[in-house]
Structure 1
């Protein structure tokens, strides 16, 4: 048995933010039957994540996953159905699994690199959300406490749209977010429970926005912030340090101000931080990566299942139908045109 699959490859290193022309949808070589230790998976959904901008930009160094070069197929978290598996293995046809070989319709995956979809989650797409990073940062680094004032930068993204909800469920007293769009700000307060959302001084506006953002933050948190979950960096991180309460805990998850900057390769996130304030206030500032906290994923899945059953959390998604829409999804993600986690849905070829 062999299967023909389409996949998205990098055609050229982007000059600035990636555009659809930098990617190409192509038909891959036919996939053979899986060898021992492999399974053939038909992908149903895959996530388009912001880190791809860095991996495509040619400036990658020291990241947990390798960069991409022209001709390489893109990758990312995916949910798929096993369609073929050798006898005697742990997986059988029909099983739903997660893996990291998205951006293609079919793929051969080592069985050891697949995780069965937890039936406790009512929608398999829930496995593609970025809640694990938000939950891990808030519990492992920030050690969120009852009554804390929490600031989430980049609150409308995949991590931020869940971070505010998680902070509230963990006992935060006040949750403040940031976004560059008034429309997104309204959704964050109306749908996701943010107490306030700051829209002045977007990181996309550059240095001229610093004073405006610092002023808005001071008004929203007059007594300062206890916890920062930072997805942005730049002048938003600068202002958060200035607004920190004694003993504040800062968890850095992303650096969109550098990663989505059109004039860089997306592999830096410069920020000016007042070291004196960090010292005298006793502020901790740490970066979060999932690979450093392998226990978080299972714990997060259990908590998410409980919260979903209780109707206590929402999973905001921006969805695109069909693999041919994936390049547009990446473009709109890097431009800030989306809300929540970005997912590409792949229809069953047998039912097209």
Structure 2
């Protein structure tokens, strides 16, 4: 029977303001041979995401906060290396939510087998082919009700979700897509690679003025990943009947003071606007529809993506902190080096 040593990243204390490395700790867990119905998985990629910052606070949210002294959960993809569950034999590629670890072991029901995509990295299942792409699709369709010809504004457009939103909006018939990003390089990438018609650097000046200049005829849809001044700017330029899909508010994730609300909320009334927040769990029924469309778009070569890769489970915290500071383009991922014992059997 085999044992395995797993390196895992845990929350040591709740961050106040911006997280620091001292808020995390590394633990080593020894797994004995899997019990009947369990599998051991060697991760290939681990995801770090903005929503994780909110779960580090002990506050009411749509999911419970991370517990202190426990491994941080979240999306990961890996391969079964030891199996005591016939439905997931050794070698099966699986998605799961066991999070920040190089090796995980649990009941087979907590893993989902996914097909290999020839010629593509398994990492794509953690973003454009997975929850990231689905988030963009749900926000544009089920939440914002995108219509052909709509003008769409996307905040935080160079991140994993934002790069997906711009492309999918165009593929669904949007007439014009506008994005914001935080560096000149990202701004250029939005228009040159991701199909945005215009983009601006929110650090160059007042966001309200920049968006007004970019959208002289107003916007119909706002896909918000940022909140704060971006939401306020969108409320200024919405056309009558505009719709907002509120996906994230990263501008306020690390604040220690209450953030002032927009000064133009009356526009919601006078322009008959609809602002709706969402989380993905309630819309997983749209996954088959999304997967069918995405498979077609991908096969036609109409989907672009970027990954920012950090190697080694020991660098997961650095990857997370860099992502929160906007150092990534596209999806930020931690790559786990293959293990010599990848072919173990129980």
TM, length-normalised to structure 2 = 0.91
Change (3 A) 1:228 1:273: farther
Bigger drift between 224-233 and 124-133 goes to: 124-133
How far did residue 351 of structure 1 move?
A: 8.3
- Residue 338 (structure 2) pairs with residue 318 (structure 1): no
TM-superposition CA deviations, 1:294-345 (whole Å, max 9, x none): 2123332232222221110112111111111111101101111111111101
Aligned residue for 1:219? 213
TM-superposition CA deviations, 1:176-212 (whole Å, max 9, x none): 001122221111111211111121457xxxxxx6xx2
- Residue 105 (structure 2) pairs with residue 115 (structure 1): no
Change (3 A) 1:344 1:135: same
1:247 maps to which of 241, 244, 258 = 241
How far did residue 174 of structure 1 move?
A: 0.7
- Residue correspondence of structure 1 range 189-208 to structure 2 within 5 A: 189-200=191-202
Q: How far apart in 2 are the matches of 1:270 and 1:251?
A: 20
Q: How far apart in 1 are the matches of 2:156 and 2:97?
A: 24
How far did residue 271 of structure 1 move?
A: 3.3
Aligned residue for 1:24? 25
- Residue correspondence of structure 1 range 1-352 to structure 2 within 5 A: 1-28=2-29, 30-56=30-56, 58-64=57-63, 66-87=64-85, 89-120=86-117, 122-129=120-127, 130-200=132-202, 212-261=206-255, 263=256, 271-272=261-262, 274-350=264-340
Q: How far apart in 2 are the matches of 1:25 and 1:293?
A: 34
Paired residues, what number? Answer: 336
SS at match of 1:350: coil
Give the unaligned 5+ runs of structure 1. Answer: 203-208
TM-superposition CA deviations, 1:110-163 (whole Å, max 9, x none): 222221113357332111111111111001111111111000001111211111
Bigger drift between 302-311 and 239-248 goes to: 302-311
TM-superposition CA deviations, 1:228-257 (whole Å, max 9, x none): 100011121011112111111110000111
Bigger drift between 165-174 and 123-132 goes to: 123-132
Change (3 A) 1:39 1:269: farther
Bigger drift between 112-121 and 320-329 goes to: 112-121
Aligned residue for 1:206? none
Q: CA RMSD in A?
A: 2.0
Q: How far apart in 2 are the matches of 1:269 and 1:60?
A: 16
Q: How far apart in 1 are the matches of 2:106 and 2:146?
A: 38
Change (3 A) 1:101 1:269: farther
Asked if structure 2 preserves the Cα contact closer than 8 Å seen for 1:43 and 1:102, the reply is no
Q: How far apart in 2 are the matches of 1:325 and 1:189?
A: 32
SS at match of 1:160: helix
Asked if structure 2 preserves the Cα contact closer than 8 Å seen for 1:233 and 1:270, the reply is no
Q: How far apart in 1 are the matches of 2:253 and 2:159?
A: 14
SS at match of 1:233: coil
SS at match of 2:284: coil
SS at match of 1:329: helix
Asked if structure 1 preserves the Cα contact closer than 8 Å seen for 2:169 and 2:177, the reply is yes
Change (3 A) 1:269 1:343: farther
Give the unaligned 5+ runs of structure 2. Answer: none
TM, length-normalised to structure 1 = 0.90
Runs of 4+ in structure 1 over 6 Å off = none
